[in-house]
Amino acid sequence: MPYKTFEEYNMQVTDDVKDRYKNIIEDLGENTQRDGLLKTPERAAKAMQFLTQGYHQDPVEILKSAMFKESYNEMVIVKDIELYSLCEHHILPFFGKAHIAYIPNGHIVGLSKLPRIVDVFARRLQVQERLTEQILDCINDTLKPQGVAVVIEASHMCMMMRGVQKQNSVTTTSGFRGQFEKIETRNEFLKLIGK
């Protein structure tokens, strides 16, 4: 099965991660026996499994499950795809939007599959640069379109809550393959997503 709603948890992993969270909370000086924290280690263990479920999903299979032969050969754009991920450096969230375009080359893909592959790669410990490239390469290698473009705009809690503490900064990454390497095609895409 290429993807599913993740509400099933590996109990062995849950128990192991729960014990580790309990130790971390205690090491930070908290009492894990007080009412508000009694179930926190287990909830945190389940949350972490949910937030990293992308390791157990196959984005190629997701795309292949809804590829259709079509002669359409103009730009297809899905923009403003919400994404939530965890920065691999501090395990703090980063979140924002992805914009994806491709130019078909004999095949189109079900529109919901593009947000699904964003989720697969975002639900891993990530850096935004790699996330952009993984989405781009997955679409390019699987769909084999005339071109692919990906732009991600995200805010990083590791910059907002700690460190430099800049709450209004947004990081933008982009990647282009095929026809989108041509400046006129790239500019059309950027204009259509409002950039």
Binding-site annotation: residue ranges: 87, 90, 158
Nearest C-alpha neighbor of 100 from the set 86, 115, 84, 85: 115
Residue numbers belonging to the annotated binding site for Zn(2+): 87, 90, 158
Q: Is 90 a catalytic residue?
A: yes
The DSSP-derived string for 74-118 is: S-EEEEEEEEEEEETTT--EEEEEEEEEEE-SSEEE-TTHHHHHH
For the chain, the straight-line distance linking the first and the last C-alpha, in angstroms and rounded, comes to: 37
* Residue of 90, 107, 133, 188 with catalytic role: 90
Q: Is 179 a catalytic residue?
A: no
* Residue of 61, 88, 129, 181 with catalytic role: 88
* Residue of 107, 133, 158, 188 with catalytic role: 158
* Residue of 128, 134, 146, 179 with catalytic role: 128
* Residue of 53, 87, 99, 134 with catalytic role: 87
Q: Is 138 a catalytic residue?
A: no
| Count of beta carbons in the 10 Å neighbourhood of residue 181 | 11
Q: Which of the residues are catalytic?
A: 87-90, 128, 156, 158
